[in-house]
């Protein structure tokens, strides 16, 4: 079974750093892009960026470029989302999701991790 | 950047048919995917590539896409279908994912 399991909820102060994780299982980790999606309280889904775990190539939404860092560790089949200096506006649930494709640009996300609540 | 527009809410009685539109400029030329998100849960894919159902998704869920509107249709709506529904495309110009703002389906 393909699964993405995310790290637990976090509470941080403004200005602190944070790295949350998304551990993949049930498939070849380096064969699929993994994306990150933000959901602020009571709001919709926002695409943040995506990583190709095989070589760590990343693409960011302009809204999140320079604000977060997406990385991956092939040895542990884990993707990460990191902040160097959190702001109160970073309070949200963050989801990782595997990108499926039937050929570019026909791309969608399945499955999704359970989400990580970050409170700043 | 590409924009997808969804109505904030749709209401339907149990047993009726719900139609949830997703508007975008020439969206019919793109592939549209739909996610269901129930309160407190992660999104779940219910339709991919316009009208394909992942395994485990009931046949009551279907999709269509033409012109400037894609539509998610749920027939014989049940109380358990109450959720937020999001459409999504991949913008080939920016090489980014784009989500609609979401539609809350209320089952009366």
**A6, closest residue in chain B (CA to CA):** B42
Question: Is some CB atom of chain B closer than 8 A to the CB atom of A3?
Answer: no
Picking from B27, B28, B38, B43 by the largest number of A CB atoms within 10 A of its own CB, the best residue to mutate is: B43
Has residue B45 got a pLDDT over 90? yes
The conformational region for residue A44 under phi > 0 = left, psi -120 to 50 = alpha, else beta, is beta
C-alpha to C-alpha distance for B100 and B108, rounded to whole angstroms = 24
pLDDT on residue B69: 98
Mean pLDDT of B78-101: 96
**Pairing outcome for strands B83-91 and B33-37:** antiparallel
Rounded to whole angstroms, how far apart are CA atoms B26 and A117? 36
- Would you tell me which residues 32-61 of chain A have a C-beta closer than 8 angstroms to some C-beta of chain B? 35, 37, 44-47, 50, 59, 61
SS3 A30: helix
Q: Across chain B, what does the average pLDDT equal?
A: 97
- The band of B97, judged by pLDDT with boundaries at 50, 70 and 90, is very high
* Model confidence at A2: pLDDT above 90: yes
Spell out the residues 6+ positions from residue B91 whose beta carbon is closer than 8 angstroms to its own: A105, B1, B2, B97, B98
**For A29-44, how does the pLDDT look when each residue is reduced to its tens digit (9 = 90+)?**
999 999 999 999 999 9
pLDDT digits (tens, 9 = 90+) for A68-106: 999 999 999 999 999 999 999 999 999 999 999 888 888
- Rounded to whole angstroms, the Cα distance separating B51 from A21 reads 32
Q: Would you give the distance in Å from CA A67 to the centre of its chain? A: 13
CB contact under 8 A, A107 and B91: no
From chain B, the residues in CB contact with A111 under 8 A are: 44-45
Using the Cβ of A104 and the Cβ atoms of chain B, whether some distance falls under 8 Å is answered with yes
- pLDDT for B4 equals 98
Question: Are B67 and B13 spatial neighbours (Cβ–Cβ below 8 Å)?
Answer: no
């Amino acid at each position: 079974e393909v699964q993405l399991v995310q790290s637990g909820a976090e509470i941080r102060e403004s200005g602190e750093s944070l790295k949350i994780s998304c551990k993949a299982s049930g498939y070849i980790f380096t064969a699929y892009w993994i994306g990150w999606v933000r959901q602020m309280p009571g709001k919709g889904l926002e695409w943040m960026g995506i990583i190709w775990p095989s070589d760590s190539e990343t693409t960011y939404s302009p809204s999140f470029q320079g604000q977060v860092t997406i990385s991956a560790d092939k040895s542990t089949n884990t993707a990460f989302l990191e902040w160097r200096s959190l702001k109160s506006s970073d309070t949200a649930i963050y989801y990782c999701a595997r990108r499926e494709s039937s050929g570019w640009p026909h791309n969608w996300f399945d499955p999704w991790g359970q989400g990580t609540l970050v409170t700043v | 950047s590409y924009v997808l527009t969804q109505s904030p809410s749709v209401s339907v009685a149990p047993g009726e048919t719900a139609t949830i539109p997703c508007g975008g400029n020439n969206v019919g030329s793109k592939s549209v995917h739909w996610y269901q998100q129930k309160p407190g849960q992660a999104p779940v894919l219910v339709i991919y590539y316009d009208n394909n159902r992942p395994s485990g998704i009931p046949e009551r869920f279907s999709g269509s896409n033409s012109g400037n509107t894609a539509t998610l249709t749920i027939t014989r709506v049940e109380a358990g279908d109450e959720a937020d529904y999001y459409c999504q495309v991949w913008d080939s110009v920016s090489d980014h994912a784009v989500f609609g703002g979401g539609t809350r389906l209320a089952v009366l």
